Structure 1
Amino acid sequence: MTRATHAREKILNAAERLFAERGFEVSLREIAGAAGQRNNSAVQYHFGDKTGLVDALYEFRMTPLNVRRREMIAELRAAGREGDLPALVEAFLGPLSEHVLTHRGESWYLRFTSRYVLSGGYRSWPFSSDHYPGMTELVPLLFARLPGLTEERLRAMFLHMLVVLADLEQRYADPGFDDAAAAAAAADLRTTCLAVLTAGGPE
């Protein structure tokens, strides 16, 4: 890893945590300080402005998540399982759930995303192709499988998933919350996401 790349990652990690903790009024100077950068203009140097920083943060986190989601979709297509609703739900939330369980609270990505979405920063729906190519491939499969599915219902499921995973990420700070409890919570989330999609209609 080059020195510049290392500095970028430190800034991204600091920004993710501060945005999650305090919202988007955090200054770029504060983010640079939290990242251990002596130059107060380090964030502007690497990312331009706050919008550029947020975009870079999504790219940093979403690139591997999209790779994983598209692998899962490809496996479903190869097996002729595009209509397997539980498998589609797993492709929807599985990569994010895996991220939370793997990082064990050391990543703030779900808490950052939850705050960003609920602050109104997330305006592209269902998903922006810039950050979510895996989702833009998956969402039509869900609509094909559930002809009565509406964008509002899909949004409700997405928000449910997001807030539960953000809470799960936070709960790792509790010494009594172990990997088994986290895995059980993630399994329950799969069940409730499926229920949100199918409530009031046939599967």
Structure 2
Amino acid sequence: MAKDKTGRLHVTVKSAGKRKLSSKLWLERQLNDPYVLRAKREGYRSRAAFKLKEIDDKYKLLKPGMAVVDLGAAPGGWSQIAATKVGSIDGKGKVVAIDLLEMPDIPGVLFAQLDFLDDSAPAKLREMLSGGADLVMSDMAANTTGHRKTDQLRIVGLVETAAAFAAEVLKPGGTFLAKVFQSGADAALLAELKRDYATIRHVKPAASRQDSSERYLLATGFRGRNE
């Protein structure tokens, strides 16, 4: 263990057994990530919680009494932040989380273990919300293959599908927030979103690693689709 340039202690992971270099570097980065350490200290399930918190601090997306859908919610960091901000823990708002994976209970969060691509998903979530959503958010990332063009198509496809889902459940004036990569949203998707929403922007919270191409698409003022 040594100190880095900032004076913080830096944990170095030794290569052991069949551990790959990529696994060693990932583990080392996790152990030295201040947001990972802070998440553990403050009781959040993932460092991603701070990304949503920082975006909300700047753009004031989450308000008491709102209805929120969290797509691909596991392990639940974003749902934790949303539940606190909208007051669903006290019954003032609603947070509905959906994921293919199981997710342990979170106070103030209704969870559905299902695929949001399923045709029945929008109706199911509307039932859980007792109406439409004020905010649909997604921190999902497509599984990567290592082939840049293939991965980009997967990423764009996932965001497009999430945007289509949002259009099914959002109330007028609602907001859509989703993870994108590299240059942001695909041009065709961006043009479509500009028709559906009053304002479109790309944001990168401080909690996003600086060496990552990760950004977030923030679409506000939903006005419905022009089919």
The TM-score by the shorter chain falls in which range? 0.3 to 0.5
By percentage of residues, which structure has more helix? 1
Larger RCO, structure (CA 8 Å, separation 6 or more): 1
By percentage of residues, which structure has more strand? 2
What's the TM-score once normalised by structure 2's chain length?
A: 0.30
What's the TM-score once normalised by structure 1's chain length?
A: 0.32
